[in-house]
Amino acid sequence: MDKYRAYVGSYTRGESKGIYMYDFNSEEAVFVAQGVEEITNPSFLTLSDDGEYLYSNCDEGVAAFKILPDGNLKYLNRHSVQGLRPCYLQVDSANEYLVSSGYYDGKLTVSRINPDGTVGEVTDEVFMKSPGSIISRNNRCHVNCALFTPDEKYILAVDLGMDQIKVYGFDRSTGKIALKDIVRCEIDSGPKHIIFSKDKKYIYLTHENDNMVTEYAYSMGKKGPVFEKIDQQSTLPPKFSEDNCAVTLKITEDDSYLFVTNSGDNSVAIYKIDEAHKMNRMCVLPVSGIYPRDIYIFPDKQHFASINQESNSITIFGVNYEKGYIYMKGRPVSVPCPTCIAVKKMK
């Protein structure tokens, strides 16, 4: 029976203290509380590729933790990103660089990771320029998400305010970046979160303003990454007319099902990826929580957890793929202002 440790980030307002830890196993979708690591506003968490370190954002910039054999965290250090608190982080596969995305200041930052796992110097940074005012949501750069490409020669930075995916070349030897290309999305669509399929051949992107998810075929051309738009689907149920934002997305390990959360409708949309690699919507159903900020698909693919920021809860559901519905598993887990989840398989 495989065992897992879940790390849940939060906004530290009210009763929230930082990173909440839970254990669960592969046979039961039940979270068992294991304590909290106190830190200010760890609203996004990411694991190193080898699962040895956990990195979070915080008011001071970014923070590093060593994951101990029992799953608990050993604080290593905090380091400034020379800007406002980032909203998204990713580490390269060799655990040598950390890329952070700045929503509020429109800043993309590359930091070196030291051999001991601590976050070190900033090797490069870009304050993206735009025509809008600093308080404007649109026409102002908001870097909401940034990922390394599979070969780690490029970084894809999602600019929600400018409706773009900016493609930066990445020099591993120096940690420097340079703008190479721009993929333009529909005007005012608000691209938000981006992921690769597990086979690295496709990209999925949510649009928080248009409440859509877009699929691109991804390949490498002579001049760099090539995006071919192949599908786009609504994340909302039919005839929905109230305010909503499409938020985050995850895909199953076999690339067969895509999950997207909605804030406003407070639901999850599930799509079956067919043989032609088109998205076929299976269902859009409520997650019994408010503002599903993140989602986690359990290893068995038969369950998922919704991280609900404004209802201070994690709700867990089973999925019936054949009949196209979800069903709640147990009572909600109470967590103050949860925002994200990262999961490590324990030895």
Per-residue pLDDT of the chain (347 residues; tens, 9 = 90+): 899 999 999 999 999 999 999 999 988 889 999 999 999 999 999 999 999 999 999 999 999 999 999 999 999 999 999 999 999 999 999 999 999 999 999 999 999 999 999 999 999 999 998 664 444 555 689 999 999 999 999 999 999 999 999 999 999 999 999 999 999 999 999 999 999 999 999 999 999 999 999 999 999 999 999 999 999 999 999 888 899 999 999 999 999 999 999 999 999 999 999 999 999 999 999 999 999 999 999 999 999 999 999 999 999 999 999 999 999 999 999 999 999 999 999 98
**Whole-angstrom Cα distance, residue 268 to residue 259?**
7
Amino acid, res. 134: I
Please answer whether residues 145 and 101 qualify as being in contact, where contact means their C-beta atoms are separated by less than 8 angstroms.
yes
Q: What share of the chain is helix, strand, coil (3-state, %, to 5)?
A: 0, 55, 45
pLDDT digits over 134-147, tens only?
Answer: 445 556 899 999 99
Query: What value, to the nearest 5°, has the Cα angle with vertex 132 and ends 128 and 138?
Result: 90
> What are the angstrom distances between the C-alpha of 265 and each of 239, 255, 291, 334, 339?
12, 25, 9, 21, 17
**Whole-angstrom Cα distance, residue 202 to residue 255?**
10
pLDDT digits over 264-322, tens only?
Answer: 999 999 999 999 999 999 999 999 999 999 999 999 999 999 999 999 999 999 999 99
What percent of the chain shows pLDDT beyond 70? 97
pLDDT of residue 134: 44
Cβ contacts of 34 within 8 Å, gap of 6 or more: 5, 21, 22, 23, 71, 72
